[in-house]
Amino acid sequence: MSYESVVFIAREVMIYQIPPLKTSKGYRASEWDVAKPLWSGRLRVVEKNVPLTKDAYDACELRCELLLEDSTSGELFATAVYDSNGKGVEQVVDSSRFFVIRVVDGERHAYLGMGFQERSESFDFNIALQDYKRHSDPMANTPASVSKNAPKDYSLKDGETITISLGPRRKKPDSRTVSGSNSSSSSSSVLPFLPPPPSAAQVKQQNRGEEQDDFGEFVS
């Protein structure tokens, strides 16, 4: 089943008859007589989902068409087909408001110039064509491209476990060894016992004995 979606509308564009392309560098709007357009009217850019066969359940193709219509009556002046590879519409090299389009009429085709009055309209026109190229890309919305940047799941699945290696356990020291070492270290660190100082009577008696000894030696 086919459907049609309007993705861009310009109320007025100018169509020009242009000279043949002279160089491979591209078309130049400065070589056109922009003051004398061949036609002016409305531009509608539509996307069409067209079945490749009569069977509605078969594959479909997304197409983009530029419809040049009379602004009042809506009468069709010409149709240009824009290809997903970028063919059918080409921007000139010396202006952002002018393009070259390939209009078709059955088996016949011709290249015409197209100009916008406002640069903002030409910008929106370019955006509409880029959106069509993205929509027509079959790889744009594939599951592979969507899951490429999806976050990884590191959670454990059913039946999975984690093994953690803690290394060798340290042996707990024996309390008796600790207490013994503490007692020996404490005993070795204690100062030896000192006797009390002598009393005054002991000092006098000791001095008297020393005087007698000295006197005795002197007498003899």
Q: Please write the tens of the pLDDT for every residue from 51-68.
A: 777 665 567 888 999 999
Residue 14 lies inside a defined structural domain of this protein: yes
Answer whether residue 107 is part of any domain: yes
The overall average pLDDT reported for the chain is 78
Please tell me the distance from the alpha carbon of residue 13 to that of residue 77, in angstroms, as a whole number.
12
**Structural domain span for residue 111:** 3-136
* In the predicted structure, residue 162 carries a pLDDT above the cut 80: no
How far is it between the farthest Cα atoms of the chain? 167
Report how far residue 199's alpha carbon sits from residue 214's, in angstroms, rounded to the nearest whole number: 23
Q: Under a CB-based contact definition with an 8 Å cutoff, are residues 98 and 33 in contact?
A: no
Q: Could you tell me which of 52, 37, 111 has the C-alpha nearest to residue 81?
A: 111
Residue 81 lies in a domain: yes
35, 34, 148: which is closest to 99 by C-alpha?
34
Residue carrying the six token digits 């290696």:
165
Residue 154 lies in a domain: no
Structural domain includes residue 161: no
Report whether 10 contacts 116 (CB < 8 A). Answer: yes
Retrieve residue 212's tokens: 């007698």
Is position 206 within any domain? no
pLDDT at 30 over 70: yes
User: How many structural domains are present in the chain?
Assistant: 1
Looking at beta carbons, which pairs linking 25-28 to residues 24 or more positions away fall under 8 Å? 25/93, 26/90, 26/92, 26/93, 27/90, 27/92, 27/93, 27/100, 27/113, 28/92, 28/93, 28/94
Query: 146 pLDDT exceeds 50?
Result: no
For residue 66, the domain's CATH number is: 2.30.29.30
- Report yes or no on 162 lying in a domain: no
